[in-house]
A = this chain, B = another copy of it.
Amino acid sequence: KPTFISRKDSVGIANGLAWTSVGGEMLPVEVAVIPGGSGKIEITGSLGDVMKESAKLAISYARVHGEEYGITADRLKNVDIHIHAPEGAVPKDGPSAGVTLTTALISALSGIPVRHDLAMTGEITLHGNVLPIGGLKEKSMAAFREGISTVLIPKENESDLFEVDAEVKQKIHFIPVEHLSQVLKQALLLPGHSSSRGTHTVPQATNLIANDKSTKEPATVM
């Protein structure tokens, strides 16, 4: 199995999901917090302009909401941050790694580990809303192949779950999310919470499939 995918709960790495012309793939994001810095940002991994902008949204979100995760303003001024998406030679673009970039970044800055058996996909806005993505079927299949047990998806993509293979839906717990705060609650192994797989509190969990194809925009549930 690809060694660059997060295989144990770790700090500064989150498993995303990408959709390419040949199917879905795991797309991990790594973040390093470099001591003795001055707030500079380095972004690598052959990222296109849209994905680089997603990284900037993640950084602004972390700067505004960092204190909720124990990240002080001082910390952000005295480090440099490096965001990387392996593999280096593979061009990557699109907005759907927004949740992954933010999760890896908040983890790296706070020291809180990320669940390695969880993957995620979703565009973010500057204020933390999670917007819908494409390729849910293919992305789910990639998560399934890699043994992922939980996948966070945008609330607006709930209606697309009917396309996902039945076998995949049996093994993977899909959690729809509307906001980054929900993503971080699910993905980060916050102290004081049970961290073992399967005992996570998953308040808005649902495996419901929007079978009604005519309903493109399902009513908001959460």
Contact = CB atoms under 8 A, between A and B. Distances in A.
A84 B2 CA distance: 30
A20 interface: no
A84 B94 CA distance: 16
B126 A3 contact: no
Contacts of A64: 32-35
B60 A125 contact: no
Interface residues of A, number: 54
A73 B131 contact: no
Q: How many copies does the complex hold?
A: 6
Interface in A21-48: 30-37, 42, 44-46
Contacts of A56: 42, 44, 82
B86 A94 contact: no
A53 interface: yes
Chain A interface SS verdict (over half): mixed
A98 B88 contact: yes
Given A82-B126, A126-B82, A4 B88 contact: no
A121 interface: no
B32 A73 contact: no
A117 interface: no
Interface string A198-220: 00000000000000000001001
Contact of A60 (B42, B54, B57, B127): B42
24 contacts: A3-B129, A3-B131, A3-B155, A3-B178, A4-B125, A4-B129, A10-B127, A32-B64, A32-B127, A33-B64, A34-B60, A35-B63, A36-B76, A36-B77, A44-B56, A46-B49, A46-B50, A56-B82, A57-B84, A60-B82, A86-B126, A87-B95, A88-B98, A88-B123
Given A34-B63, A60-B82, A88-B95, 4 more contacts: A34-B64, A35-B73, A54-B88, A57-B82
